[in-house]
Amino acid sequence: MEKPSALRVLTDSDFLRLEKIAREIRVDIVEMLATSQSGHAAGSLGIADLMTALYFHVLVHDPKKPRWKDRDRFILSNGHVCPSRYAAMARAGYFPREELKTLRKFGSALQGHPEIASLAGVETTSGPLGDGAAQSAGLAYFAKQHGLPWHTYCLLSDGELQTGIVWETALFISKHHLDTLTWIVDRNGIQIDGKTEDIMPLEPLREKFEAFGFQVLEVDGHNIREMIDTLGLARSTSQIPTVLLLHTIPGKGVHYMEHNYRWHGAVPGTGPEDKVPRSRQKQQALSDLKHL
């Protein structure tokens, strides 16, 4: 039985609007991280297009009612890229954009890694990799068993796939045919210490997930239209879980960061100086984004 796709058709004007929002979210991320002086720039910028697609087209949600019981659940398992989520949530209306500058500051709702008790709408406390993936499966199991209308999305990083819990959970997801869940893997190829394929190779990733019983979809993580189409396909697939391998460029939009793993855990103003001196990193990033 085919489940209906819950996604609206994306018009050209929708598309232009989303492109604009994605650019604004990237600017917010640079501003936030330059202010906080710590955090994770590359991954946050890399998934800005996904965050835009999710919060402004894909998710069934209401920013004014973050605990609405029928909302889609979006689990951010790789919590370190939360600046991207925070920026998208603020633009969607969950909280005032003014608060973005409090990221990582004492007393802020925007904790360095998301805290369920600090900010309504983040769904889980996350940071330790793999835990969100498992929680997403628990949510999706409950929704499937009780025929609830919502869908669970979970974003994982590719380095996160080196944890055992992810594959334990994959067994569970496959056993129970969790079609109420879509895993999205940010395949940006980097982690803190280097390239994933040097640190602990993940390929062949498609075959690994297929062997675990998943439908594997691959998409350019900077093509919003394709992403939305693919997420719609994932949502409408029955009886088989889906993983979306999202090919992204870490640091996307800021040239001196792109593809460079040294920007995984760095921020403009205190990052590696091989291309741009620290004093000009923020300014250069904002200038790059103007031309994106």
Give the Cα separation of 54 and 119 in Å (integer): 18
Task: Please tell me whether residue 125 binds other proteins under the rule CB under 8 A.
Answer: yes
Only one of the segments 21-29, 100-108, 138-146, 227-235 lies at the binding site for other proteins (rule: CB under 8 A); that segment is 138-146
Does the footprint of other proteins cover residue 159 (CB under 8 A)?
A: no
286 binds other proteins (CB under 8 A): no
152: DSSP letter: E
Rule CB under 8 A: choose which of 139, 224, 231, 245 binds other proteins: 139
Is 277 near other proteins (CB under 8 A)? no
CA distance 132 to 236: 23
Q: Determine the Cα–Cα distance for residues 81 and 234; give it in Å rounded to an integer.
A: 23
Judged by CB under 8 A, which of 141, 153, 183, 214 binds other proteins?
A: 141
Specify which residues 215 forms β-bridges with: 242
3-state secondary structure of 155: strand
CA gap 23, 45 in Å, rounded: 10
For residue 16, state whether it binds other proteins (rule: CB under 8 A): no
Looking up tokens 């500051």 gives 105
What residues pair up with 216 in beta bridges, in sequence order? Answer: 243
Stretch that binds other proteins, among 16-24, 39-47, 58-66, 160-168 (CB under 8 A): 160-168
CB of 173 to other proteins, least distance (A): 9
Number of Cβ atoms within 10 Å of the Cβ of 167: 16
Check binding of 140 to other proteins (CB under 8 A): yes
Residue 215, SS3 per DSSP: strand
**Minimum distance of other proteins from residue 123's CB (angstroms):** 7
Whole-angstrom Cα Rg for the chain = 18
Provide the token pair at 153: 């999305």
Pick the stretch among 39-47, 90-98, 102-110, 124-132 that binds other proteins (CB under 8 A).
124-132
Q: Looking up tokens 């056993």, which residue turns up?
A: 175
Restricting to residues 170-199, name those near other proteins by CB under 8 A. 171-172
**Least distance from C-beta 181 to other proteins, angstroms?**
10
Q: Which stretches of the chain bind other proteins, using CB under 8 A?
A: 73, 116-117, 123-125, 127-128, 130-131, 133-143, 145, 164-165, 168-169, 171-172
